[in-house]
Amino acid sequence: MTRINGFNLGVYTFLLTVALSIVLGATAYAGKQQLTAFVIGIPTITLLVFLVLAEVTPRLIKLTGAFGVSEDDAPQAAEDDAGASPGGMEAGSWRRVGIVYGWLVLYFAMTFVFGFYIAIPVFMVLFLTIESRLIPVYAVGVMVAAGLPLYIIFRLVLDIPLWTGILPGIIGGGTVPQLN
Indicate whether 6 and 82 sit together in one domain: yes
Domain that holds residue 66: 1-89
Final residue in a domain of this structure, among 67, 89, 111: 89
Indicate whether 113 and 170 sit together in one domain: yes
Instruction: Sort residue 28 into left (φ over 0), alpha (ψ -120 to 50) or beta.
Output: alpha
pLDDT exceeds cutoff 70 at 1: no
CB count, 10 Å around CB of 54?
A: 21
**Cα–Cα distance, 125 to 140 (Å, whole number):** 6
Final residue in a domain of this structure, among 89, 111, 136: 89
Q: What is the pLDDT of residues 61-100, one digit of tens each?
A: 666 554 544 545 444 544 455 455 555 556 567 787 888 8
In whole numbers, what is the pLDDT of the chain averaged over residues?
A: 76
Indicate whether 82 and 106 sit together in one domain: no
Indicate whether 99 and 85 sit together in one domain: no
Q: What is the pLDDT of residues 98-133, one digit of tens each?
A: 888 899 999 988 888 888 888 888 998 999 898 888
Number of domains into which the chain is organized: 2
